[in-house]
Every structure is written in structure tokens, then in C-alpha cells.
Amino acid sequence: MLTIVIQAGGQSSRMGEDKALKPFLGKPLIQRVMERLNPIADEMIITTNQPDSYSFLQTRLVPDLITGRGALGGLLTAISSASHPFVGVVACDMPFANPIFFETAHRLMVEEEADVVIPRIKSEETQKSGGYEPLHALYRKETCLPAIEDAIQKDLWKVIAWFGKVKVRDVSDDEMKIIDPSGLYSWNVNTPDEFVKAEEIAKSDGHL
């Protein structure tokens, strides 16, 4: 059973407005992300500290359990809030979030008894997290939650600070090229120009 958690807690400072609510091809970006992942989700959750702004989505809204703890605190909230044992976590600004990845990750997690199944790619955007893409990854709640809680209690901040406590199954570039040949799954739209470009790609390349 799979919970999908979409995190809508970013500041959107480079966008100049709440990018999760900015219209993308006629509907709020976060709604697009939801619709892409709804078919594989047994439960859908949005993490946000502004529930009134997202009530129109008619899905469960969860505020941060611990405020001011950055991405690791957001991950704690996401995994804690899930009702199911497997938790897919996605950022709200990923217009090409890939459901096939989460289906594949679930299979790998079960077959290989992994606790985290996560893309590890070579790009400038992911170097801050060791090449990992923690906001497009699958987590096993039973083992990941206590490891994250322990990291926070020890005042660690890096979003992957607790990975040494669990079994992490990297998904390589080559594997991701099979799952998502476009390579767009991890693209975060952070600026108005990126937003426009993403819309153009979505229309022209059939990624609607």
C-alpha cells in the first residue's frame, strides 16, 4: 500500500509567488503533480503550513510537525503522516514527476528489502544532497521514521544524514534512463523562465 506525499512547504523566492499554486497549462502546478501520481496512490497527502490555500484540492493536508527544520523536518512530516508502509515523497514543483519510477521503486524495495529507493544522479542541482534526489524517492516508513527522528534529535540537518542507518538502494543514471528516458522527472521549476520552458516541453513533447 502506497502513500504519496507532495511537499508544498518551499518559499518560492525565485518565482516571486507560490509556485505550487501558479497555473501550469491552465491548472495549479500542484494539481498537475497530484493528477500524475493519483493513479498509483492508495493515499494522497499534501504537507503545507498554509492549509487554507490548498483546501480546494480536497485531499488531506498536514502541517510541519517541527517548524524551522528545513528539508529534513519536511521529510519527517511526510513519512510520519503516511498511513501506509511505503511512502513516496515528491516536491510540489516537479511537473514531470514520474509514476513509473514509484511503481519500479516499490518493486525494488520489496524484492531487495531496501528501506529507501532513490535516484542518484550526476547533476549540479543534486550535489548538495550527495547526488541523491530525496524529493522524488520512496521510503519504508517502519525503518526510515526512527532513523530520521534520531537524526533530528542529534541536531543533524542534512536531508540524508540518516542514510547510514538504513538500507539505501540507489537508482543509477542508466536505470533512470530506462524508467524515464526524458530525464525530466527531477526537474524543479524555480523561476518564471523555467516555468514557461516546462509548459512548452509539456505541450510539444507529449508530457501532458
- Which domains can be identified in the chain, with CATH numbers? 2-204 (3.90.550.10)
**Taking the CA atoms of the chain, what radius of gyration do you get in angstroms?**
16
How far is Cα 171 from Cα 53, in angstroms, rounded to an integer?
A: 35
Helix (H) or strand (E) segment spanning residue 156: none
**Around 71, how many Cα atoms within 13 Å sit in the side-chain half-sphere?**
15
Buried/exposed code over 126-141 (b: 16+ C-beta within 10 A; e: otherwise): beebebbbbbbbbbbb
Backbone conformation region of residue 84, classed left if phi is above 0, alpha if psi is from -120 to 50, else beta: beta
- Which of 80, 20, 14 shows the shortest CA–CA distance to 51? 20
pLDDT digits (tens), the chain, 208 positions: 999 999 996 555 455 578 999 999 999 999 999 999 999 999 999 999 999 999 999 999 999 999 889 999 999 999 999 999 999 999 999 999 999 999 999 999 999 999 999 999 775 554 444 589 999 999 999 999 999 999 999 999 999 999 999 999 999 989 999 999 999 999 999 899 999 999 999 988 665 5
Distance CA 18, CA 51 (A): 13
Phi-psi region of 191 (alpha: psi -120 to 50; beta: other; left: phi over 0): beta
Q: What pLDDT score does 121 carry?
A: 78
